[in-house]
């Protein structure tokens, strides 16, 4: 199978890494790719947003399957465009991708299908949004309706913070068109976890559970980021808790989507809050999570290409899926200043160190300059490790990342702390 992977981050490197291990994939392209995908896939200089050029490339090169990494092209209708040209592609169509593309739409769907979630209301008028927030009480959450790269949700602890969040999103347009509307939402207390599913209509396969760390600093301090690390499995979402989430959330959602005219095929990421009243949905994503994919791929033992190909064709091939009993943990190495402004073009040392068979380094924001790998983004690398236990995976990951250096490198020292008691 000749496969085109779309995207340029750590998620896409992890997808390429896993795809090339299976027997079904014999040639990989990655558009546009990064410094890490280059050794295992042919990087193609086409932006993930250029849907027409991507479809032209897939058609002219007879790609057997296209796998879409980031959310923006999915929400822009890349799947519909490819299917219209007779091209096989993995991911949900534009209508289904609205579950991520619009927080207001996802809330409407959950309300109609009685899927547990926080109380909320949607506004286009800043004054009305402020009034509702005060009625809801504090803390509450202010969310940009559209795509905001994982940074559009702000916890408002008091009226001043709520006013500032609404002003930032709706008036200063910090997230552009994503702030045309805001969702004001009840604050849910508990522990977050990520449930990712491979979905084909009303049928699904549960992928490895995980948890990520959004805040930039140790102890969940500082601003939100795209994710500073993750681990799998997530103990809080295993066993009876997972069965509860499937019964209360997954089943009514997937049974109900077709009644709303939504045919969902692809990955469905459900961000959950696990509290004393059971699981509730925080958000939906229409693609693999990042950095969750960097711990998910090392735990899948099956043929990923066959699995995604079958889903694109309208069925789930369970014979192509197997779950490793090993645990996985990844640590994101970020550029100085991230998630704010940061420099690029810094040389990265230590990537050629012999880190052992249990370690994989996934590039997120890198590029190649001859034989040198340079930083090219805020989240630069994700160092992922597996182990017989989560503690072993964490120890291996931290030992590995100590070998990697670039000016101003920073990473959290407490990834996995929610699942592991202090020694």
Q: Which fold has domain 2-94?
A: Rossmann fold (3.40.50)
State yes or no: cis peptide before 334, omega within 30 of 0: no
Which helix (H) or strand (E) covers residue 331, if one does? Answer: strand 327-334
pLDDT of residue 26: 87
Q: Which fold has domain 327-401?
A: 3.90.600
pLDDT of residue 422: 58
Question: Which residues have a Cβ under 8 Å from the Cβ of 213 and sit 6 or more positions away?
Answer: 220, 227, 228, 229, 230, 412, 414, 415
pLDDT mean by block of 10 residues, the chain; 423 residues: 97 98 92 97 98 98 98 98 98 98 97 97 96 95 90 91 96 94 95 96 97 95 92 96 97 98 97 93 96 97 95 95 96 97 97 92 96 97 98 98 97 95 60
pLDDT of residue 148: 85
CB 159 within 8 A of CB 234: no
pLDDT, tens digit, 9 for 90 and up, residues 145-169? 999 877 788 999 999 999 999 999 9
pLDDT, tens digit, 9 for 90 and up, residues 296-334? 999 999 999 999 999 999 999 999 999 999 999 999 999
Number of residues that this document lists for the chain: 423
What is the CATH superfamily name and number for domain 191-320? ATP-grasp fold, B domain (3.30.470.20)
Residue found under tokens 């077709």: 258
Residue 292: CA count within 13 A, CB half-sphere: 25
What are the boundaries of each domain within the chain?
2-94, 125-180, 191-320, 327-401
CATH of segment(s) 125-180? 3.30.1490.20
pLDDT of residue 83: 98
State yes or no: cis peptide before 219, omega within 30 of 0: no
- Angle among Cα 230, 187, 156 to the nearest 5 degrees reads 95
CB 410 within 8 A of CB 351: no
pLDDT, tens digit, 9 for 90 and up, residues 82-117? 999 999 999 999 999 999 999 999 999 999 999 999
**The whole model's pTM is what?**
0.96
For the record, the structure tokens of 346 come out as: 């810094």
State yes or no: cis peptide before 233, omega within 30 of 0: yes
**Among candidates 63, 151, 143, 46, which has minimal Cα distance to 104?**
143
Could you give the 3-state DSSP secondary structure of residue 96? helix
CB 299 within 8 A of CB 208: yes
């Amino acid at each position: 199978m000749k496969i085109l992977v779309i995207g340029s981050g750590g998620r896409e490197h992890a997808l390429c890494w896993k795809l090339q291990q299976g027997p079904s994939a014999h040639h990989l392209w990655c558009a546009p790719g990064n410094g890490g995908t280059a050794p295992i896939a042919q990087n193609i200089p086409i932006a993930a947003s250029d849907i027409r050029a991507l479809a032209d490339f897939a058609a002219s090169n007879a790609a057997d399957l296209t796998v879409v990494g980031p959310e923006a092209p999915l929400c822009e209708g890349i799947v519909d465009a490819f299917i219209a040209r007779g091209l096989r592609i993995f991911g949900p169509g534009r209508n289904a991708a609205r579950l991520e593309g619009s927080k207001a739409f996802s809330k409407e769907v959950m309300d109609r299908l009685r899927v547990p979630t926080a109380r909320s209301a949607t506004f286009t008028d800043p004054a009305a949004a402020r009034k509702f927030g005060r009625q809801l009480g504090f803390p509450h959450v202010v969310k940009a309706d559209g795509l905001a790269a994982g940074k559009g949700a702000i916890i408002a602890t008091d009226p001043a913070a709520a006013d500032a969040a609404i002003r930032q999103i709706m008036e200063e347009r910090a997230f552009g068109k994503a702030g045309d509307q805001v969702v004001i939402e009840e604050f849910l207390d508990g522990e977050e976890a990520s449930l990712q599913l491979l979905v084909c209509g009303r049928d699904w396969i549960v992928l490895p559970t995980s948890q990520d760390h959004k805040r930039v600093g140790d102890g969940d301090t500082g601003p939100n980021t795209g994710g500073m690390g993750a681990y799998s499995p997530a103990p809080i979402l295993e066993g009876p808790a997972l069965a509860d989430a499937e019964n209360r959330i997954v089943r009514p959602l997937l049974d109900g989507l077709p009644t709303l005219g939504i045919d969902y095929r692809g990955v469905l990421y459900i961000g959950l809050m696990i509290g004393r009243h059971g699981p509730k949905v925080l958000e939906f994503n229409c693609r693999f999570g990042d950095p969750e994919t960097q711990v998910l791929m090392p735990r899948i033992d099956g043929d990923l290409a066959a699995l995604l190909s079958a889903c694109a064709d309208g069925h789930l091939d369970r014979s192509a899926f197997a779950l490793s009993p090993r645990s996985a943990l990844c640590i994101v190495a970020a550029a100085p200043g991230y998630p704010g402004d940061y420099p690029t073009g810094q040389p990265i040392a230590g990537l050629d160190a012999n880190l052992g068979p249990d370690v994989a380094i996934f590039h997120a924001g890198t590029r190649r300059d001859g034989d040198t790998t340079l930083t090219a983004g805020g989240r630069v690398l994700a160092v992922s490790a597996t182990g017989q236990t989560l503690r072993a995976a964490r120890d291996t990951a931290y030992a590995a990342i100590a070998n990697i250096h670039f000016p101003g490198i920073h990473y959290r020292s407490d990834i996995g702390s929610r699942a592991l008691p202090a020694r």
